[in-house]
């Protein structure tokens, strides 16, 4: 075969008739609104049966199945078996719910299909405005620059990349790391795993992440941090950045941000804040004091798909100065050089010079439309509602003789366990089993973590659909499963039989 015969008949991916697709589209929208309406009646999650799982091994289709069939597959094979974070009783990891309008906004963004590179494209102006709104929401410096990214992992990476590429002591952007003294990033033992990935991707290696111990409230020990810095400097290493966490993933703890900002300023070290979900509490004047010092961070990473409830993916990094942010990612390429007029006129922010991506989705649209739809005050109230719900759950746990709290509740994360008889090992095994049964029942989905060797059911509330009765129900279900397990033959710990 040669290539002379290819393309002799012309075709397109558009349908022969838009009418059929229009009807299918209307049905899809109807179905999804019914899905939203009925969420509460559905199991939060259910495991995928083997026969359905097998369907995902089918080879690539060569011939058309058709739009209708493809959609039927979605409703049968996918929709019933998703994580379930749209549900009012989903509290695993840190997941937002999404909203009806933002679903539609995602459709609009896909329809126009802009790559938001920073050209004279409406998407550029929308993203720039969303970044400006993010600064207002967090009470961060108006002169800061920013960019939307896939999530907080990328935002942490970009924040640290800006710190590294602007380092005074070494020109890492041009010369790489060879020949520089080792660079060290400081974070607590509770700092997020994405920080670890970031130091690895930045070529520093895992050992460059200095893990500082935490206090009883799971906050970084600032004195231990100060002495680690002294020690590293004395050994000829270069402190690159201090990571503060506002809302640790395990317990929602907030580091002492003013103390970290002071130390970073004194030592002239970049202060990066990982505020994946916790930073959003800055919207509330009542909660903002917990985040005092946030405005002093040199860069802030946070998510809009967690505690702002927007659909995946949407993370954001803010950097104290536009010049430093752009310097870290600026590049030369004739085909991307801005012109004085036309589509590639540099009228706004050339986003491709502010992060690793060239082609970039129109993430900003769902945020822009969602904030217009509700007004930012509504988001403040929902965040406050989730914090009040966490306190309510903590009170239920404290009041129950069968349950115990495993960490102080500082924001929206509640870690608890059932008080099974036996030692910690036996309790861990039983609480793990309890959590599996709870998830498999479809009643509710908390996730898990381990705190000081103790297995915890972790309830992380970034859910605009939860109501207080959902937490009553959760406590009821955990107590019921706990009693069931206590009574099960062979489950009693040895020694108490
Ligand atoms: C979720 C989370 C991250 C990572 O964010 P992604 O959006 O999942 O990439 C980083 N830090 C903390 C504290 C988190 O909770």
Tell me the per-residue pLDDT of 283-320, one tens digit each, with 9 for 90 and over. 999 999 999 999 999 999 999 999 999 999 999 999 99
Closest to 126 measured CA to CA, from 370, 303, 302: 370
Domain interval for residue 387: 377-487
Same domain, 318 and 399: no
Helix (H) or strand (E) holding 67: helix 67-73
Cα–Cα distance for residue pair 118/29, rounded to 1 Å: 31
Same domain, 366 and 433: no
- Measuring from atom 14 of ligand 1, which residue has the nearest CA? 276
- Name the domain count of the chain: 2
- Measuring from atom 9 of ligand 1, which residue has the nearest CA? 153
> Is any atom of ligand 1 closer than 6 Å to the C-beta of 447?
no
Residue ending a domain, choose from 374, 402, 427:
374
Cα–Cα distance for residue pair 222/242, rounded to 1 Å: 11
> Is any atom of ligand 1 closer than 6 Å to the C-beta of 210?
no
Residue ending a domain, choose from 374, 393, 426:
374
Partners of residue 4 on adjacent β-strands? none
Evaluate the CA torsion angle 95, 98, 103, 109 in order and state its sign. negative
Q: What sections of 182-245 are H helices per DSSP?
A: 193-201, 222-234
Exposure letters 42-75 (e unless 16+ CB within 10 A, then b): ebbbeeeeeeeeeeeeeeeeeeeeeeeeeeeeee
Contact 191, 254 (CB under 8 A): no
CB atoms within 10 A of CB 289: 10
Helix (H) or strand (E) holding 126: helix 122-138
Same domain, 201 and 330: yes
State which ligand 1 atom lies nearest to the alpha carbon of 154: 9
Same domain, 395 and 366: no
Same domain, 348 and 406: no
> For each of the chain's 497 residues, which pLDDT tens digit applies?
678 888 889 999 999 999 999 999 999 999 999 999 999 999 999 999 999 999 999 999 999 999 999 999 999 999 999 999 999 999 999 999 999 999 999 999 999 999 999 888 999 999 999 999 999 999 999 999 999 999 999 999 999 999 999 998 889 999 999 989 999 999 999 999 999 999 999 999 999 999 999 999 999 999 999 999 999 999 999 999 999 999 999 999 999 999 999 999 999 999 999 999 999 999 999 999 999 999 999 999 999 999 999 999 999 999 999 999 999 999 999 988 888 898 888 778 899 999 999 999 999 999 999 999 999 999 999 999 999 999 999 999 999 999 999 999 999 999 999 999 999 999 999 999 999 999 999 999 999 999 999 999 999 999 999 999 999 999 999 999 999 999 998 886 654 43
> Is any atom of ligand 1 closer than 6 Å to the C-beta of 190?
no
Partners of residue 447 on adjacent β-strands? 458
User: How many angstroms is it from 6 CA to the middle of ligand 1?
Assistant: 47
- Measuring from atom 2 of ligand 1, which residue has the nearest CA? 276
> Is any atom of ligand 1 closer than 6 Å to the C-beta of 194?
yes
CA of 494: how far to CAs of 17, 164, 418, in Å? Answer: 71, 54, 18
Contact 205, 244 (CB under 8 A): no
Largest CA distance in the chain: 83
Contact 473, 40 (CB under 8 A): no
Cα–Cα distance for residue pair 144/153, rounded to 1 Å: 20
CATH of the domain at 203: 3.40.640.10
Q: 71-75 contacts: CB < 8 A, separation 24 or more?
A: 71/24, 71/27, 71/28, 75/31
> Which of left, alpha, beta for 461 (phi over 0: left; psi -120 to 50: alpha)?
beta
- Give a yes or no: residue 199 inside a domain: yes
Same domain, 248 and 149: yes
- Give a yes or no: residue 77 inside a domain: no
- Give a yes or no: residue 44 inside a domain: no
Same domain, 341 and 457: no
Contact 403, 475 (CB under 8 A): yes
Same domain, 319 and 212: yes
- Measuring from atom 15 of ligand 1, which residue has the nearest CA? 249
Partners of residue 274 on adjacent β-strands? 245, 301
> Is any atom of ligand 1 closer than 6 Å to the C-beta of 274?
yes
Helix (H) or strand (E) holding 184: strand 183-188
Residue ending a domain, choose from 318, 342, 374:
374
State which ligand 1 atom lies nearest to the alpha carbon of 245: 13
CB atoms within 10 A of CB 195: 26
pTM over 0.85: yes
> Is any atom of ligand 1 closer than 6 Å to the C-beta of 361?
no
> Is any atom of ligand 1 closer than 6 Å to the C-beta of 301?
no
């Amino acid at each position: 075969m040669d290539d002379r015969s290819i393309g002799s008949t012309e075709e397109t991916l558009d349908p022969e008739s838009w009418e059929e697709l229009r009807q299918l589209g209307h049905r899809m929208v109807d179905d999804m609104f019914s899905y939203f309406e009925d969420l509460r009646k559905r199991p939060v999650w259910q495991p995928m049966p083997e026969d359905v799982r097998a369907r995902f091994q089918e080879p690539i289709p060569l011939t058309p199945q058709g739009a209708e069939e493809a959609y039927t597959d979605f409703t049968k094979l996918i929709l019933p078996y998703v994580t379930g974070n749209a549900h009012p009783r989903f509290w695993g990891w840190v997941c937002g719910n999404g909203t009806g309008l933002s679903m539609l906004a995602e459709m609009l963004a896909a329809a126009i299909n802009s790559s938001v590179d920073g050209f004279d494209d409406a998407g550029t102006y929308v993203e720039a405005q969303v970044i400006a709104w993010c600064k207002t929401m967090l009470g961060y410096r108006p002169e800061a620059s920013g960019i939307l990214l896939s999530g907080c992992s990328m935002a942490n990476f970009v924040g640290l990349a800006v710190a590294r590429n602007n380092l005074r002591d070494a020109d890492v952007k041009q010369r790489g790391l060879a020949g520089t003294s080792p660079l060290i990033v400081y974070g607590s033992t509770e700092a997020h795993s994405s920080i670890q990935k970031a130091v690895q991707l930045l070529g520093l290696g895992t050992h460059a992440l200095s893990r500082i111990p935490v206090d009883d409230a799971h906050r970084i020990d600032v004195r231990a941090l100060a002495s680690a810095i002294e020690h590293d400097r004395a050994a000829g290493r270069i402190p690159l950045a201090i990571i503060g966490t506002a809302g640790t993933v395990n317990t929602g703890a907030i580091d002492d941000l003013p103390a970290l900002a002071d130390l970073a300023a004194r030592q002239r070290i970049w202060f990066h804040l990982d505020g994946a979900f916790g930073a959003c509490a800055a919207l509330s004047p009542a909660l903002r004091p917990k985040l005092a010092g946030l405005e002093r961070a040199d860069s802030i990473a946070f998510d809009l798909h967690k505690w702002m409830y927007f659909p995946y993916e949407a993370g954001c990094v803010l950097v104290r100065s536009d010049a430093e942010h752009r310097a870290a990612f600026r590049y030369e390429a004739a085909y991307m050089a801005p012109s004085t007029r036309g589509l590639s006129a540099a009228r706004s922010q050339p986003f491709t010079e502010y992060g690793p991506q060239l082609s970039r989705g129109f993430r900003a649209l769902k945020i822009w439309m969602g904030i217009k739809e509700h007004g930012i005050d509504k988001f403040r109230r929902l965040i406050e509602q989730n914090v009040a719900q966490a306190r309510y759950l903590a009170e239920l746990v404290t009041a129950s003789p069968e349950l115990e709290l495993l960490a102080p509740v500082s924001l929206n994360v509640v870690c608890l366990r059932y008080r099974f008889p036996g030692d910690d090992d036996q309790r861990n095994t039983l609480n793990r089993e309890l959590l599996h049964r709870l998830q498999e029942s479809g009643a509710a989905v908390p996730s898990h973590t381990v705190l000081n060797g103790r297995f915890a059911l972790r309830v992380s509330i970034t859910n605009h659909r939860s109501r207080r009765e959902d937490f009553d129900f959760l406590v009821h279900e955990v107590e019921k499963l706990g009693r069931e397990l206590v009574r099960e033959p062979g489950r009693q710990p040895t020694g108490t039989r």
